[in-house]
Chain A
Amino acid sequence: MGRKLLLEHIDVPGIETFDVYRKNGGYRSVEKALKTMSPEDVVEEVKKANLKGRGGAGFPTGLKWSFLAKPEGVPRYLLCNADESEPGTFKDRYLMEKIPHLLIEGMIVSSYALGSNLSYIYIRGEYMWVLEILEKAIAEAYAKGFLGKNILGSGFDLDLRVAPGGGAYICGEETALIESLEGKRGNPRIKPPFPAVKGLWGCPTVVNNVESLATVVPIINDGAEEYTKLGTDASNGTKLISACGNVTRGGVYEIELGISVEEFIYGDEWCRGIANNKKIKALVPGGSSVPILPAHLITKTAAGENRLMSYESLADGGFASGSMLGSGGFIVFDEDQCIVRNTWNFARFYAHESCGQCSPCREGTGWMEKVLHRLENGKGNMRDIELLADINKKIEGNTICPLGDAAAWPVAAAIRHFREEFEWHVTHPEDAVKGNYGLLKGITV
């Protein structure tokens, strides 16, 4: 059994209540931080733990915290990004639903470190029942003196509120989240200025993912030195992975970073192999935005090394033969699946979720969706494949926020690794309408 830091007590009955959580060691990090550490000490510890942001981009959390501007007399805010809408990603929901006090605890310590006296959890609007779970837990924490004025007699005040999201994937982008929280349309802001300088209500703000904030708890409890013993040199600690698609046992797992991809897919402790004894065809390891990997690049890198579940190993080979750990949305495809159909499905998502602010993303995502839809339905031609490759090159890097890139990368990768499937849809238009490539190919090709 791998060591668990976040989900260790997940199966303890009643762990969602304050008392059971507390009995299992909960809120120790608040006591430790508020009574024995200065805010700077906490930031330093998180820096030393080398925690990489768990929201997708993997930006070092301690570094982000140290960028926060601290002008005299101006409030600062900590916002928890619980908007979780990336297809394939459902780890934050699991954590908040099962063990809400862990997030609250992490937010208290992090708010203390950043000097935020009012912090928010911005939660995806479709997670209403989770919002209720959180509000109940927050009420308990207030009642027990872990939230509110003068927490544990330390002189530190913290109010924690939950805000339901505006119902759009784009509201997970940190500046769109801030706009939405301010009651406006969730359009990403133009940067600079960055939230660390001008965020919520124009004040310095830090936005962190649910899992990042929860991970602060074991870092403070055990110390950075203990924490960094887990994982690889560049990927410390543990990570929540939401596994889905054609695996025998999907779900949310906490892994020690650095276990092999092969073990994660086939190991008894984890996904237990591909469902129905099928063969694996492709893997999207980190949510719909990251490049897809074909079978021969899943368990081994292009250089022939074992592929590991870590930031650096999944990215090995760059976009040519690698991918990204991203948000940990691990989507497995078996041999029956059609990559063109899946690419179209993702493209449809991005076209639907683009906020429409900047022209390359607004027009480009819609264009790609239409071309892919035609291809999938046997109405494409060979030119369309080149066209798609060209459109995504022209979106990438030219937009306000990373949604444009996130829409472009999966299409580029699918064409790079599965070009023959795209071509098959052109050369077999009737079959393409009848069913999907994976199932039909054996019969007709």
Chain B
Amino acid sequence: MVKVTIDGIEVEVEAGTTVLNAARKIGGDVVPPAMCYYSKLEGSGGKCRTCLVEVAAGSANDPRPMPKLVASCSTPVQDGMVIKNKTSEKVHVNRGAVTEFLLINHPLDCPICDQAGECHLQDLGFEHGASGTRYEEERRTFDPIDIGNKIKLHMNRCILCYRCVMVANQLTDKRVHGVLGRGDHAEISTYISNAIDNDFSGNMIDVCPVGALTDKTFRFKSRVWFLKPMEASRSCTKCAGKAVVWMFGEEIYRVTARKDKYGEVEDNDGKPAWICNDCRFDHKNVSDWNIEGPRKINRHSVISANHYEKANPLENNTKKIK
């Protein structure tokens, strides 16, 4: 076990743990935002740079500060490391910069985007974004495309976190989509309009932090905040059948995996409870499901209680937690 201090709070974690996961162990607002890291996907992280933190002391043996900010999701902790997240002015400035970069080409079409209300980019923009834009150039655009008959890709909204590519690589039989091109014209696409069609492809929608991949069976049906999330299960041969059904009155509008406060799918029996496409797309009758009770949605998403009221990035972190 090694000891690391984050924003003045000490925590003990196993050697090899990343700074981000150490912060998650502490919880609360010392946790850096993570747009590309996803603990259940191997190799994820390092790309979006929203989780940058300052290393005020490298380790007990070598307590020098690091000159550059580091990506907390892919930096292992050292014993005696001192990290500044909320308490670092430099982090604040540069996270604002990353937010600006992620937004310059973003269409800002939240009013018509299905992800609105549970979008990580919205949260990031709210907490670290500026009120106006300095970007006067034309935004890059792509046409929305269908990838298979269940998923719609709005590339304009994509932040290239690569999570969906990893889902396809790690959960499905074969990956038929990936990143084409380079630079700000890199795009998620299928190879020669291939359809994505296999049992677990729908999980791409769940891991997408923005509204780039949306569920065609739910598109434009309702704003998420009008829906009631309920924990539900069914016996399924392909997956654990544990999901959240989003209801309006007596009707099920959509089905998603059960996600934790970081937007990651929860474990079931020690394994991530990814849901299959059968459960997600083809079982929308109340009689299909055993409805267990209301789902608590926390941290990110407007659905969680007063999230935006509490968030104050400038607030000095003088916590007394021990």
Contact = CB atoms under 8 A, between A and B. Distances in A.
A50 to B, nearest CB: 25
A137 interface: no
Contacts of A190: 45-46, 71, 74
Interface in B41-98: 45-50, 52, 67-69, 71, 74, 76, 94, 97-98
Nearest to B50: A359
B52 A398 contact: yes
Interface in B117-152: 134-135, 137, 140
A362 B137 contact: no
Nearest to A189: B46
B291 interface: no
B52 A370 contact: no
Nearest to B106: A363
A43 to B, nearest CB: 25
B48 A359 contact: yes
B119 to A, nearest CB: 16
Contacts of A351: 183-184
Given A364-B101, A399-B49, A371 B181 contact: no
Interface-centre pick from B47, B100, B184 (highest chain A CB count, 10 A): B184
A359 B45 contact: no
A374 B49 CA distance: 28
Contacts of A360: 49, 97-98, 101
Contacts of A168: 182
B134 A363 contact: no
B18 to A, nearest CB: 11
Interface string A335-376: 000000000000000011111111110111111001100100
A362 B184 contact: yes
Nearest to A370: B137
Contacts of A224: none
A297 B178 CA distance: 47
B105 A363 contact: yes
Contacts of B46: 190, 358, 400
Contacts of A356: 160, 179, 181-186
A185 interface: yes
A170 B137 contact: no
A239 to B, nearest CB: 28
A367 B137 contact: yes
B69 A398 contact: yes
B94 A357 contact: no
Q: For chain B, give the interface size range.
A: 35 or more
B104 interface: yes
B159 interface: yes
Contact of A397 (B45, B69, B160, B178): B69
A367 B49 CA distance: 17
B181 A359 contact: no
Nearest to A169: B182
Q: For chain A, give the interface size range.
A: 20 to 34
Contact of B98 (A359, A366, A367): A359
A385 to B, nearest CB: 13
A171 to B, nearest CB: 11
Interface-centre pick from B49, B52, B74 (highest chain A CB count, 10 A): B49
A382 interface: no
A387 B134 contact: yes
Contacts of B98: 359-360, 398
Contacts of A354: 182-184
B102 interface: yes
B183 A352 contact: yes
A358 B160 CA distance: 8
A376 to B, nearest CB: 14
A305 to B, nearest CB: 27
A170 B49 CA distance: 19
Interface string B237-255: 0000000000000000000
Contacts of A387: 134
A352 B186 CA distance: 10
Contact of B159 (A185, A355, A359, A398): A359
Interface string B23-57: 00000000000000000000001111110100000
B183 A362 contact: yes
Contacts of A398: 49, 52, 68-69, 94, 97-98
A359 B47 contact: yes
Contacts of A192: 76
Contacts of A416: none
Given A190-B46, A394-B94, A398-B49, A359 B101 contact: yes
A356 B69 CA distance: 20
Interface-centre pick from A358, A374, A387 (highest chain B CB count, 10 A): A358
A223 to B, nearest CB: 36
Contacts of B94: 394, 398
Nearest to A355: B182
Nearest to B180: A185
Contacts of A362: 101, 160, 183-184, 186
B236 to A, nearest CB: 34
Given A190-B71, A363-B105, A370-B137, A394 B97 contact: yes
A358 B49 contact: yes
Contacts of B50: 359
Contacts of B68: 397-398
A363 B101 contact: yes
13 contacts: A192-B76, A353-B183, A356-B182, A358-B49, A360-B101, A362-B160, A363-B101, A363-B102, A364-B101, A366-B183, A374-B137, A387-B134, A400-B47
**Shortest Cβ-Cβ A-B pairs, 8 listed:** A356-B186, A190-B46, A366-B184, A394-B97, A363-B101, A354-B183, A370-B137, A397-B68
Given A352-B183, A353-B182, A359-B102, 18 more contacts: A185-B178, A190-B45, A190-B71, A192-B76, A351-B183, A353-B183, A354-B183, A355-B183, A356-B186, A359-B47, A360-B97, A362-B101, A365-B184, A371-B137, A394-B97, A397-B68, A398-B52, A398-B94
Interface of B: 45-50, 52, 67-69, 71, 74, 76, 94, 97-98, 100-102, 104-105, 134-135, 137, 140, 159-160, 162, 178-179, 181-186
